[in-house]
Chains A and B, each alone.
Chain A
């Protein structure tokens, strides 16, 4: 399918019902009647970047916390006890608090406990990614946030994250280092969403050619209220989000589409049947939040606060088999 066709699918003149039905059938054929589950685990909310939409933004006077090894192990054991076998390690960017060696040790701790470990941290160079791979990570998530350069510059006002191009290149560098899963995404609300979707799709198509040995996943987080009081300038409605997920599925039949607990349960049900293939559940977005909730500030507010077991039960009701393990640590 062409990008032009994708653009027409994003337009409200294309009826949503048939679009979703086609996306659903394509998803089932490629991924089966399944939903992959994973949990994010926040290592640190220390951050040197000023990003006006983010709870962890440097100027925000919030409770900051970087987990030590013992705390990390406790958090990981908590998440593993809930049944998760896939974990995403998330961290703010602060070279003093979360150095390469720190991240490496966190990955190593997770590698011993989970079948699949991915990282969502600031862009690294190829050597950095190789070190993470060697420690046991197999996936890298780097959202571009805003593909529109002006919008990007407007919200990333200071710190290393100002460098748009370094961020854009990161997934390719991670693939070159041997990472098996690449996660990209646009933070919806920062710029007009149809243009952002076109840019995300173009990025995905390019990665599928250049990083052909890596599985691609797409995320479409919508901005949520966070510390700092940011209000999204270009809001995206529920209908828009469903349309975007379905259209991306038709353009990229083999790409995973990821959904977080930013969205409320009823919409998550709809999206599960429109092309989403991976979901987080029971998430905490503050470091240490699984063991000690609310001791530090979270990155954003959670809308779906059901437990992982409740989410799994709901998926079964929808006719989807919740999959906890679809990878093996032996493959890293």
Chain B
């Protein structure tokens, strides 16, 4: 099959699996998973890194020449805080790409649509490449893409739940109507969930918990890589439509025809 790069804001990526870097048992386990996943985009929570430290262990462990290090604003509960964090990251020399997360409820970590849109508008004007984390809300997705975000990142299920595509119908609408890449984020607990999202036509998926807390994170990362690739190839090859009634894979007519 021909090359199939993912393009976000003019930058090409050959992998369609993004990785989160939280929750791993060690920096080494995280590095091994990044390697095995083949990912080219990793998100890093700004609240976890020490931007003043010259040898920040998490940032040092990631090769910024091969990977896009995508800072995220997790912990921000309104637009103002998210914008402040993004500016700090840029001032500290991180790329001006930002995964926008505004999650006022620390229990569910569900995104605030109002503050996310407000922050996205500000950050786009400030020249950031904005990838917003949102609930699977098709209208919000349109509003954000109108505001100039580089992607939309709707959730499959609440963060860390591993429940898979619980928002499937809304995701389908977002994917059909989006003019920017759709990255399905949060709630993907198994490689089959990643495959399912890609088969539906998602442009990429983001996975963290399912890989970080696996018994063997690197092996799980490799499994998600295969799931993501399989789903994408199936989508590009044209999936057979679902039917309500059985249809023989060797139609009877032809069989009879040969006998006649």
Which A residues lie at the B interface, using CB under 8 A? 28-34, 85, 115, 180, 208, 212-215, 254, 316, 319-321, 323, 325-328, 330-331
Contact = CB atoms under 8 A, between A and B. Distances in A.
B46 A29 contact: no
A33 B88 contact: no
Given A115-B47, A180-B77, A212-B105, 10 more contacts: A29-B213, A33-B23, A212-B107, A325-B47, A325-B48, A325-B50, A327-B47, A328-B46, A330-B85, A330-B88
B47 A33 contact: no
Q: Which 8 A-B pairs have the closest CB atoms?
A: A32-B23, A33-B25, A215-B106, A254-B107, A328-B47, A28-B213, A319-B25, A213-B104
Contacts of B76: 331
7 contacts: A28-B213, A29-B160, A32-B209, A32-B213, A325-B47, A328-B75, A330-B81
Chain B interface secondary structure, helix, strand, loop or mixed?
loop
Contacts of B209: 29, 32
B49 A331 contact: no
B143 interface: no
A80 B106 CA distance: 27
Contacts of B88: 328, 330
B162 A29 contact: yes
A323 B25 contact: no
Given A214-B106, A323-B48, A33 B24 contact: yes
B24 A321 contact: yes
Contacts of B95: none
A320 B213 CA distance: 11
B106 A320 contact: no
B19 interface: no
Interface residues of B, number: 27
Contacts, number: 68
B33 to A, nearest CB: 12
Nearest to B213: A28
A331 B75 CA distance: 8
A162 B107 CA distance: 33
Given A208-B107, A215-B106, A327 B23 contact: no
Nearest to A85: B50
Given A319-B25, A328-B47, A330-B84, A33 B105 contact: no
A38 to B, nearest CB: 14
A326 B48 CA distance: 5
B27 interface: yes
Interface string B132-169: 00000000000000000000000000001010000000
Contacts of A326: 47-48
B26 interface: yes
Given A215-B106, A321-B26, A331-B85, A33 B46 contact: no
Contacts of A215: 106
B22 interface: yes
Contacts of B27: 321
Contacts of A213: 77, 104-106
Contacts of A327: 47, 75
B74 to A, nearest CB: 10
A316 B213 contact: no
Nearest to B209: A29
A214 B162 CA distance: 24
B85 A33 contact: no
A212 B107 CA distance: 8
A12 B77 CA distance: 41
Contact of B22 (A29, A32, A316, A330): A32
Contacts of B171: none
Contacts of A214: 106
B212 interface: yes
B106 A254 contact: yes
Nearest to A324: B50
Interface string B240-259: 00000000000000000000
Interface in B67-112: 75-77, 81, 84-85, 88, 104-107
Interface in B194-213: 209, 212-213
A319 B28 CA distance: 12
A320 B25 contact: yes
B58 to A, nearest CB: 9
B36 to A, nearest CB: 17
Given A215-B106, A330-B84, A30 B160 contact: yes
Nearest to B45: A326
